[in-house]
Amino acid sequence: MTGTQIVPGERAIALLGGEANDANLRRYLHGIPGVDAVGLEQRAAGLGTRSIKTTSKAWALDRIIGLIDLTTLEGADTPGKVRSLVAKAVTPDAADPSCPRVAAVCVYGDMVPHAVQALGTAHGDPDQGKIAVAAVATAFPSGRSSRSIKLEDTADAVAAGADEIDMVIDRGAFLAGRYGQVYDEIVAVKEACRRADGTYAHLKVILETGELNTYDNVRRASWLGILAGGDFIKTSTGKVAPAATLPVTLLMLEVVRDWHRLSGEKVGVKPAGGIRASKDAIKYLVTVAETAGEEWLTPHLFRFGASSLLNDVLLQRQKMTTGHYSGPDYVTID
Amino acid sequence: MSFLEYAPAPESQAILNLRDSYGLFIDGEFREGHGTPFASISPATEKHIATIAHADASDVDAAVAAARRAYDRTWSRMSGADRGKCLFRIARLVQERSRELAVAESLDNGKPIKESRDVDVPLVAAWFFYYAGWADKLDHVGLGAAPAPLGVAAQVIPWNFPLLMLAWKIAPALAAGNTVVLKPAETTSLTALLFAEIVQQADLPPGVVNIITGAGETGAALVGHGDVDKVAFTGSTSVGRAIARSVAGTNKKLTLELGGKAANIVFDDAPIDQAIEGIVNGIFFNQGHVCCAGSRLLVQESIHDEVIDRLKTRLSTLRLGDPLDKNTDIGAINSAEQLQRIRELSDVGEAEGAERWTAACTIPENGFWYAPTIFTNVSTSHRIAREEIFGPVLSVLTFRTPTEAIAKANNTPYGLSAGIWTDKGSRILAVADKLRAGVVWANTFNRFDPSSPFGGYKESGYGREGGRHGIAAYLKTAAPTVALPSATARKTVSKGATK
């Protein structure tokens, strides 16, 4: 999968009318209309009441599987664990060969070679039914290290065959108002995503919304991530609570929709962490379809960062075909 | 099929156990009416639901007499705590039967099930819970020592929120110790009759609540009845005027909650996505059949095009259709007559030079429907900017400064509600202070709570429903009770308006 061809930085300069420094970014980001928290949460709750039944539900469950970044991000990860995760990604439901594959596996940088090897011929673009390898980088999850280390971390993962890089922004710098620094870092990481052949690995910019705290901050960080050249904006690392919530995802989808109105470019959104039930995942699909549009429900524009969600979707899927619920022992643990 | 065409998700009607015909609920039991019964139909399908009894003058007499007996013999003598228990029982029964009531309401009124289920019925229960709590505290809230009930209340309610308006009327009246005779609107009697069953279930003394059904003349006979002490009406301004005339010179106390043409003011620093939601909720909630609907959108000129653009995109996602489908956003227009009026005024709008835009929706074959419509390029002198349309039709006007916004918002014979959208708290307070409207919402619209007084200025009526003011309207009180804005605040308003 290849990232956007736009030279990072052009987006911003065109919009800001000048260099992407602290002053210009501040002027722009603080000029964006505010977010009314009560109204945003009401709208999200309203979207959550959509009732998705029968054929729509069957379609939704299959699509959710195809949008999952199946994730393992543990200190205890081993090549064996990653191989097992890959096997699950390729064949989510051993009892049903018609079950779609997930979009990608998401691992730490040092596990990328193992993931690539385990995937073999299944490795490739999720749009073509293959599975991508996503790596978290830039001193994930805290992002607290020097820029050179972060760039090295990114380049390493790309060299090892990662198709997608999930980077974290410097929340400390963002909250201190040093928007230029956050911007420069995303641009630099994007550059580190460049492969030898000149193409770019897909860049997902993790905002860690749980640390940004306010919806106004989330909206500004979303714009910042897009201006700096992110292909995706992603809610969270999964290591900080609260992780993905429906209102936060709705807000980010509104930014992506507005960016599309403004530039014609499509940027993806990835809620990650805390989405465990099919019922919740369906609410996200509804929110995507009614905010950004149905065309966003493809792997290069929307992902779920999740691990346990897959099994719940499989159970629901089995229930739809057999008419009764089975139990956790009828799906594989990983 | 695309995902957004969500598969049908209809709420089951199996929970409803309707009778073929309903009588009048007088003195604790159902009895035949003396008028010619009429049919109640579903506005979404035009199918017959049930036959409803028609009360004539003799039935009105019987109902008022039953209410008087119940008032004299039991209800006015009962302790506040015991009245409260009755109201708490009603509230809990409403919750227990909430799904059934929601289905009946959507079937009979045409409103989407998601609104009857998530807004109407929960608020009905909330209203009874709230006023149940007042029943034993009347001596201690500054309404004078031992405030006394008025007696028999005649209550006439509209068809837009049939059960909710019933709750707004009955809950405070009973809590204060009055007995009631209530007449629901002709097209939406069903849930009031189900409520009569709840009154039986709750074991209220016979005659405390009487429900008589019929059309305009039944209502006129009720409010004109000589043995009624209090008249409460919600509905159109023209009927309200007629009632005010018929009550003039009598000892009857009167509260009127009438029409509206609310301004929803969007400043250029508004939280834009939430403002769009608020505009949609303001005028397309309940198909615009809301007296406090935000039917005049006043948007600051600098963001007019962007707001309209976003609004159209948003309206294109609204789903019009079967009110009982859980994904329906816009239900049916309540009656052929109302649909005719909406069409007429919309045509006038077009003829006057406003620009009409209608969301692309498939209109079902049967039933009464009107697709969400907005008019841009509307001037204050257009009829669609002056008259209440009471349908899913929004008139968009612009303003340049806060002073102009306030002047335009106040330039209406009505004054029921208004909305303000801005990120600036001080502007909310400054503008709200100058708006002549009974309810002012800030960064939200169409939110209701039993503790919050609701009512109008000017032709939107007088008196307040909800909160302490709502119960004061059903009591003889020693101290002044009507807490409209203070005299000084009103002076400021008129000064601001004439500038």
Q: Does B326 touch chain A (CB under 8 A)?
A: yes
Structure tokens at A144: 């607290």
Cα–Cα distance measured from residue A159 to residue A133, given in angstroms and rounded to the nearest whole number: 12
- CB–CB contact B271 A51 (8 Å): no
B1/A55 CB distance under 8 A: yes
- Residue whose token pair is 């605040």: B489
pLDDT digits (tens, 9 = 90+) for A30-40: 999 999 999 99
Closest-CA residue of chain B to A251: B273
Of A304, A314, A307, nearest to A334 by C-alpha is A307
Radius of gyration of chain A (CA): 19
pLDDT at residue A5, rounded to an integer = 47
Name the DSSP letter for residue B72: I
Q: Tell me the pLDDT tens digit for each residue of A269-312.
A: 999 999 999 999 999 999 999 999 999 999 999 999 999 999 99
User: Above pLDDT 90, what percent of chain B?
Assistant: 94
Whether pLDDT at B491 is above 50 = no
Which among A36, A52, A60 has CB closest to B271?
Answer: A36
Chain A residues close to B422, C-beta within 8 Å: none
Residues A311-326, mean pLDDT to the nearest whole number: 94
pLDDT recorded at residue A7:
52
CA distance A178 to chain B (A): 24
Structure tokens at B300: 């600051």
As a residue count, chain A comes to: 334
B443·A36 Cβ contact <8 A: yes
Averaged pLDDT, B133-158: 92
Pairs of residues, one from chain A and one from chain B, whose beta carbons lie less than 8 Å apart? 71
Q: Show residues of chain A in contact with B317, CB under 8 Å.
A: 290
- Residues in A closer than 8 angstroms to B423, CB to CB, are 33-34, 36
* Across B288-304, average pLDDT: 97
Evaluate the CA torsion angle B440, B442, B444, B449 in order and state its sign: negative
The strands making up B152-156's β-sheet, listed across from edge to edge, are B29-31, B24-26, B209-211, B179-183, B152-156, B230-234, B253-257, B461-462
Nearest residue of A to residue B317 by CA position? Answer: A290
AA letter at A231? D
DSSP conformation letters of A138-163: SSTTT--S-HHHHHHHHHHHHHTT-S
B318 touches A at CB < 8 Å: no
Quick one: pLDDT at residue B217?
Answer: 97
Model confidence at B144, in pLDDT bands (50, 70, 90)? confident
Are the beta carbons of B437 and B416 closer than 8 angstroms?
A: yes
Beta strands in A34-88 (DSSP E): 68-71
Q: What ipTM was estimated for this complex? A: 0.94
| Contact criterion met (CB < 8 Å) for B6 and A35 | no
Find the angle CA(B330)-CA(B416)-CA(B297) to the nearest 5 degrees. 55
Query: Given the structure tokens 């005339």, which residue do they identify?
Result: B245
- pLDDT for B201-257, tens place per residue? 999 999 999 999 999 999 999 999 999 999 999 999 999 999 999 999 999 999 999
Return the pLDDT at B145: 81
pLDDT value for B318: 97
- For residue B265, the cross-strand partners are B298, B420
Contact B34, B24 (CB under 8 A): no
pLDDT of residue A163 exceeding 80, the answer is yes
Burial class of residue B353 in the structure, from the number of CB atoms within 10 Å of its CB (0-12 exposed, 13-18 middle, 19+ buried): exposed
A105 to A109, A238, B442: CA distances (angstroms): 12, 15, 46
Q: Contact A169/A185 with Cβ under 8 angstroms?
A: yes
- State the residue for tokens 């990114």: A154
Q: Is the pLDDT of residue B496 over 80?
A: no
Rg of chain B on CA atoms, in Å: 22
Q: In whole angstroms, what is the distance from residue B143 CA to residue B484 CA? A: 15
At residue A8, the pLDDT reads 53
A226 touches chain B (CB under 8 A): no
Q: What distance in Å separates residue B305's CA from the closest CA in chain A?
A: 14
Question: Is A98 part of the contact surface with chain B (CB cutoff 8 Å)?
Answer: no
Q: Closest partner residue to B443 among A39, A55, A290, by Cβ? A: A39
The amino acid at B173: A
Span between the terminal Cα atoms of chain B, in Å? 58
Q: Indicate if the pLDDT at residue A2 is higher than 80.
A: no
User: Cβ of A38 under 8 Å from any chain B Cβ?
Assistant: yes
Residues 60-79 in A contacting B (C-alpha not used; CB under 8 Å): 60, 63
DSSP secondary-structure letter at B328?
-
Restricting to B residues 74-133, those with a Cβ less than 8 Å away from any Cβ of A are 114, 118
The per-residue pLDDT for A221 is 98
Q: Whole-angstrom Cα distance, residue B452 to residue A103?
A: 51
| pLDDT of B487 higher than 80 | no
Question: pTM of the entire structure?
Answer: 0.94
- Distance, in angstroms, between A41 CA and closest chain B CA? 10
pLDDT at residue number B488: 47
State the Cα–Cα distance between residues A135 and B76, nearest whole angstrom. 75
3 state SS of B4: helix
Please tell me what DSSP assigns to residue A272: B
Q: Which domains does chain B have, with CATH numbers?
A: 21-257+466-476 (3.40.605.10), 263-442 (3.40.309.10)
Average of per-residue pLDDT values in chain A = 95
* Tens digits of residue pLDDT in B48-89: 999 999 999 999 999 999 999 999 999 999 999 999 999 999
Which of the four pLDDT bands, split at 50, 70 and 90, describes residue B495? very low
Band the pLDDT of A12: cuts 50, 70, 90: confident
Q: Which of B4, B270, B271 sits opposite A289 (nearest CB)?
A: B4
Residue of A nearest to B421 (CA): A36
- Looking at every residue in chain B, the average pLDDT score rounds to 95
The reply to whether residue B273 touches residue A40, judged by beta carbons under 8 angstroms, is yes
